[in-house]
């Protein structure tokens, strides 16, 4: 497989557990001088070709056949492509969608698929992708589906909350699997049965309920310009539900419910002993009231820059965080000692409050301890806020490998 937007290697960790081999990878962050993620990736993985370069330049090189960067052929293209323009961490009005600075990186994925024509791809993003932008709910995902359909791929997707399948973090992401028509048998990648039981994702992560009928929900406009202009215009809700398949532009989409009967791992199960926690992770007594305020419910009168008055409201976040359930989603701002509404705070057995350590954040995503060691703690937390849950990738990767082996 080849890995785009590799980050610190979560996709690779999961897929290597599932039996895939990485031959080429790329990670580059344009906004930072020190490439912490790429350095972490190279430090932990010794095999395969790794590049730290603008992915558009690499794609240009492939397209121009100048051989500046060598990308071996591969069976599977993977990537957790940058999601800032789709993230729920932004307000709806701020989310620029597929035309945003980060969202445009979708087109580099599309270029790699066109230039290398791998039989399979496997992508991950925030679930907001299915309903972006606010003016045309689901348009961005519709364009993505239509562009890979042009290349002969069928696609299945599922929104997965990792905690629903026993993992110790409530992390919702959309997972997208594509298969080229050359690897499909007649009748595959279609309809209710594929989503509920026969599909790659359903085989890995079972579901028990659905809504929808047997017929395709709709067919995508094949003209991308028309699709971009007209799709879901005026819709209040996206037509894409939390699971679905697309083949030949026809879309089946359903609401499904996870089915899991195993043992769940909770936040308390991954915590390190209190005696081993460095002092800087404990909250000073004088800051506790600030933490409580930031995490509490609010209805406050505030003033706009222009002078108008309005009421700001928000619900409460638990303080301290419950440890007998899976943790809340790790965000990129988890690091640092500054009080924050979104950072995790737990109470220790001795009654003290503390933040989570980098090792605990790594464990919540399924990384080995100290995977990100060697960079500042704030960056380590940022990397885990950007990462995915390794175990979910491993389950889908194993199912995809089994599917692929039957077609070799």
Task: Give first-to-last CA distance, the chain, whole Å.
Answer: 15
The SS3 assignment for 292 reads helix
CB 379 within 8 A of CB 31: no
Distance CA 198, CA 187 (A): 11
CB 271 within 8 A of CB 346: yes
CB burial string 354-366: b at 16+ within 10 A, e below: bbbbbbbbbbbbb
CB 174 within 8 A of CB 127: yes
H/E stretch holding 347 reads strand 345-347
Q: Residue 255, preceding bond cis, omega within 30 degrees?
A: no
Look-up of token digits 């800087």: 280
Residue from 1, 40, 83, 159 carrying the catalytic annotation: 83
83 counts as catalytic: yes
Backbone angles phi, psi at 203, to 5 degrees: -65, -30
Q: Partners of 153 in the beta sheet?
A: 180
- Give the residue from 289, 247, 270, 246 showing the smallest Cα distance to 360: 270
Length of the chain: 408
Task: Point out the residues that are catalytic.
Answer: 83
């Amino acid at each position: 497989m080849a890995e785009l937007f590799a980050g610190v290697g979560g996709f690779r960790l999961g897929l290597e557990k599932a039996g895939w081999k990485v031959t080429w990878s790329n990670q580059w962050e344009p906004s930072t001088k020190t490439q912490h993620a790429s350095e972490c990736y190279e430090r932990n993985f010794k095999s395969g070709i790794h590049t730290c370069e603008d992915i558009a330049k690499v794609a240009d090189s492939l397209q121009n056949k100048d051989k500046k960067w060598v990308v071996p052929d591969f069976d599977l293209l993977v990537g957790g492509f940058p999601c800032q323009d789709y993230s729920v961490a932004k307000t709806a009005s701020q989310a620029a969608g597929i035309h945003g600075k980060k969202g445009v990186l979708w087109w580099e994925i599309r270029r790699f698929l066109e230039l290398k024509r791998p039989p399979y791809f496997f992508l991950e993003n925030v679930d907001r992708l299915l309903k972006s932008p606010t003016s045309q709910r689901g348009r961005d995902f519709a364009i993505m589906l239509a562009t890979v359909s042009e290349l002969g791929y069928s696609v299945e997707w599922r929104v997965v909350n990792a905690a629903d399948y026993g993992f110790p973090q409530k992390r919702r992401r959309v997972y997208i699997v594509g298969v080229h028509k050359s690897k499909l048998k007649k009748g595959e990648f279609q309809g209710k049965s594929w989503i509920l039981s026969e599909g790659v994702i359903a085989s890995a992560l079972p579901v028990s309920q659905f809504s929808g009928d047997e017929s395709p929900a709709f067919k995508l406009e094949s003209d991308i310009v028309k699709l971009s202009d007209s799709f879901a215009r005026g819709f209040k809700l996206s037509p894409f539900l939390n699971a679905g398949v697309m083949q030949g532009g026809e879309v089946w989409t359903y609401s499904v419910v996870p089915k899991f009967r195993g043992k769940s791992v909770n936040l308390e199960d991954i915590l390190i002993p209190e005696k081993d926690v460095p002092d800087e992770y404990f909250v000073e007594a004088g800051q506790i009231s600030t933490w409580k305020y930031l995490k509490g419910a609010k209805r406050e009168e505030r003033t706009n820059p222009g002078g108008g008055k309005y009421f700001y409201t928000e619900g409460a976040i638990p303080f301290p965080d419950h440890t007998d359930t899976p943790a809340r989603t790790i965000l990129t701002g988890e690091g640092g000692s500054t009080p924050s509404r979104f950072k995790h705070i737990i109470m220790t057995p001795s009654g003290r409050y503390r933040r989570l350590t980098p090792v605990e954040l790594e464990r919540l995503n399924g990384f080995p301890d100290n995977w990100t060691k060697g960079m500042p703690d704030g960056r380590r937390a940022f990397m885990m806020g950007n990462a995915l849950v390794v175990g979910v990738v491993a389950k889908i990767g194993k199912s995809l490998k089994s599917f692929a082996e039957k077609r070799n």
